Structure 1
Amino acid sequence: MTRPGPATGSVSGMIELDGLTRRYGRTTAVDDLTLTVRPGRVTGFLGPNGAGKSTTLRMVLGLTTPTGGTATVGGVRFRDRARGLRHAGALLDAGDVHGGRSARAHLAALARSNGIGGVRVDEVLGQVGLDDAADRRVGGFSLGMRQRLGIAAALLGDPPVLMFDEPFNGLDPEGVRWVRGLFRRLATEGRTVFVSSHLMGEVEHCADHLVVIGRGRLIADETLDAFAARVGRAEVVVRTPEPAMLTTALADAGASVRPDPDGALTVAGVGAERIAELALGLRIPLHQLTPRTASLEEAFMALTAADVEYTAREGR
């Protein structure tokens, strides 16, 4: 059973980056990154391929040395912690496990090196649903099972800070749903949960806050709603038995109207109140009038377009 984490706002649960920079020769992977990842919420960590997300996580964990700036967990560099898993747990690469060991042996070795009792190994194996596979060699695990084992390792020290890099990869729908719920529960307990993923829909379902970087630089550090609102593409979904008449009226009022495959109209350029007024004046019945902001994926694509390092060209 997972024990309660630190109270929301506790310094022990904060990840703090101050001018964090990493260069490889002439290439700057992370560029003067300053931010605080706070407890009590799930923070999504997004950016195009090559944005510097994995490098940032590795610097937080002391696996990569910064060229400049600092990264601390609870005010202390992680590499200075004698028993690191009690302060922060992380899943960076589900495949980075000795295939000849059993899941239980892998976790037991981590527990011993961090002064964690053996009973905790069985607790986390149960928590991630690997009870029946505990004594099987990891080399025979599917990617989804390795992901669960990596999450178990992150939870092992019952830490206030948890970091996950692409945790949804290889999971079936039930596994994805379980991970979402796990992240939400851990945040509710007052822990810091920092999740990097390319799966926008999954981040949108579980995150409260976003940190977005591009080419190593900070683009956004704000709530999901605030990030989506930056695009300025508020739309209204409308359903009516008179779509042609309403489309003409909306176009005359300066709106743009896009017919959707399911028969609805997506309207931009005027708000829901104005649409309702126009429909009422023309006696056009409305069956749906739903304001809609840009999705996380739409906002992400719009706001990071200039920071995409690798793009595909359409074939002929």
Structure 2
Amino acid sequence: MIEAKDLTKRFGATTAVNNLSFTVQSGQVTGFLGPNGAGKTTTLRMILGLNQPSGGTVTIDGRPFASHPRGLRHVGALLDADDVHRGRSARAHLSALAHSNRIPQRRVGEVLDEVGLAAVARRRVGGFSLGMKQRLGIATALLGDPPVLLFDEPLNGLDPEGVLWVRGLFHRLAAEGRTVFVSSHMMSEMEHTADRLVVIGQGELIAAESLTEFAARGSRLSVFVRSPDIAELAPVLAAEGAAVVPGEDGTCRVTGLTAVRIGELAFEHRFMLHELTVRASSLEEAFMELTADSVEFLAGEAR
């Protein structure tokens, strides 16, 4: 379990993380989300003792990470897949870490097999693609068979097969009772991967809850309408104050009117309806809405 209490980090006059409190439970995958510059990487670095907090505390299983001897046996982490000696082979990189953490050398071969790098284990890392480096970073995190795992953007550079593999890996690790904390900007992937979310903006907590609870906080309920009379129905709905977004032939997405009112208007004007479906916000829509005030850089903003 990871527990942060009033965690704060300042860099000079800049506050990167401000009084942040959350808990990451074992036995589930917790997604860590936030806009660029929200303080996610700084928070992960404080969890691992790479940055010292300006205030507050963060512990792993009740203790600061620095107090755990031979850390890879307790916490595995992937923060930067490119932060590897380019002249070493994958096997040499993992062997050195295994030796320094008193991990049996047999684990090197096991994790190379698990991440699909056994065939290139003796190649220099400098010749690896980004996806291969991500797999090596995951192998490094798994090396000590730790109960707690942290991953910062682990899907960057992976092909679709790799994304599916990582998704399955995280689910398996959580099912084994481990703590899995995953920072990602890929909202759609978090819908398939995470059980719970910790969402921050400008270094402060926005939400710490299940995916379903978070998506439900988005206020943008919409109604999907399918009708052979959609071209005539759309202006009627717009005249009632609805926002109408045309879709494929015979469909549109409507916000600003309830499904009941849309049905009433269709009946009054004798338009046939084939489908009328209420749709809640997706995870991505809820994220964009709830973090809108925390985005540091907006495309198209005035200069």
Shorter-chain TM-score above 0.5: yes
Residue 55 of structure 1 aligns with which residue? Answer: 42
Change (3 A) 1:157 1:273: farther
Task: Determine whether 1:266 maps to 2:253.
Answer: yes
Residue 101 of structure 1 aligns with which residue? Answer: 88
Which letter does structure 2 place at the counterpart of 1:76? R
Task: Determine whether 1:220 maps to 2:236.
Answer: no
Cα deviation for residue 148 of structure 1 reads 0.2
Instruction: Give the whole-Å Cα distance in 1 for the aligned partners of 2:102 and 2:260.
Output: 62
Deviations 1:45-82 (CA, angstroms, capped at 9, x unpaired): 11111111001000000111111111111111111100
Secondary structure in 2 matching 1:311:
coil
Which of 133, 136, 140 is the aligned partner of 1:149? 136
Q: Report matched runs for 1:153-192 at 5 Å.
A: 153-192=140-179
Instruction: Give the whole-Å Cα distance in 2 for the aligned partners of 1:51 and 1:206.
Output: 21
Secondary structure in 2 matching 1:225:
helix
Aligned Cα RMSD in Å?
2.2
Which letter does structure 2 place at the counterpart of 1:190? G
Deviations 1:167-205 (CA, angstroms, capped at 9, x unpaired): 111111211121122112222222221111122222222
Residue 135 of structure 1 aligns with which residue? Answer: 122
Task: Determine whether 1:67 maps to 2:54.
Answer: yes
Change (3 A) 1:260 1:182: same
Report the number of matched residues: 303
What percentage of residue pairs aligned between the two structures are identical? Answer: 66
Q: Report matched runs for 1:188-199 at 5 Å.
A: 188-199=175-186
Structure 2: runs of 5+ lacking an equivalent: none
Instruction: Give the whole-Å Cα distance in 1 for the aligned partners of 2:298 and 2:257.
Output: 34
Secondary structure in 1 matching 2:291:
helix
Residue 6 of structure 1 aligns with which residue? Answer: none
Residue 302 of structure 1 aligns with which residue? Answer: 289
Which letter does structure 1 place at the counterpart of 2:297? Y
For the 8 Å contact 2:28–2:174, the answer to whether it is kept is yes
Deviations 1:202-238 (CA, angstroms, capped at 9, x unpaired): 2222112111111111111112222222221111212
Which letter does structure 2 place at the counterpart of 1:153? T
Cα deviation for residue 99 of structure 1 reads 1.0
Secondary structure in 1 matching 2:206:
strand
Cα deviation for residue 111 of structure 1 reads 1.4
Residue 80 of structure 1 aligns with which residue? Answer: 67
Task: Determine whether 1:26 maps to 2:22.
Answer: no
Instruction: Give the whole-Å Cα distance in 2 for the aligned partners of 1:159 and 1:187.
Output: 12
Deviations 1:123-146 (CA, angstroms, capped at 9, x unpaired): 111111111011111111111000
Instruction: Give the whole-Å Cα distance in 2 for the aligned partners of 1:263 and 1:193.
Output: 44
Structure 1: runs of 5+ lacking an equivalent: 1-13
Residue 3 of structure 2 aligns with which residue? Answer: 16
Instruction: Give the whole-Å Cα distance in 2 for the aligned partners of 1:281 and 1:123.
Output: 68
Instruction: Give the whole-Å Cα distance in 1 for the aligned partners of 2:300 and 2:258.
Output: 36
- So what's the TM-score if we normalise by structure 2? 0.92
Which has the higher mean CA deviation after the structures are superposed, 22-31 or 239-248? 239-248
Q: Report matched runs for 1:246-257 at 5 Å.
A: 246-247=233-234, 250-251=237-238, 255-257=242-244
Secondary structure in 1 matching 2:198:
strand
Instruction: Give the whole-Å Cα distance in 2 for the aligned partners of 1:288 and 1:155.
Output: 49
For the 8 Å contact 2:228–2:250, the answer to whether it is kept is no
Which has the higher mean CA deviation after the structures are superposed, 296-305 or 118-127? 296-305
Which has the higher mean CA deviation after the structures are superposed, 262-271 or 176-185? 262-271
Instruction: Give the whole-Å Cα distance in 1 for the aligned partners of 2:296 and 2:112.
Output: 39
For the 8 Å contact 2:191–2:283, the answer to whether it is kept is yes
For the 8 Å contact 2:199–2:206, the answer to whether it is kept is yes
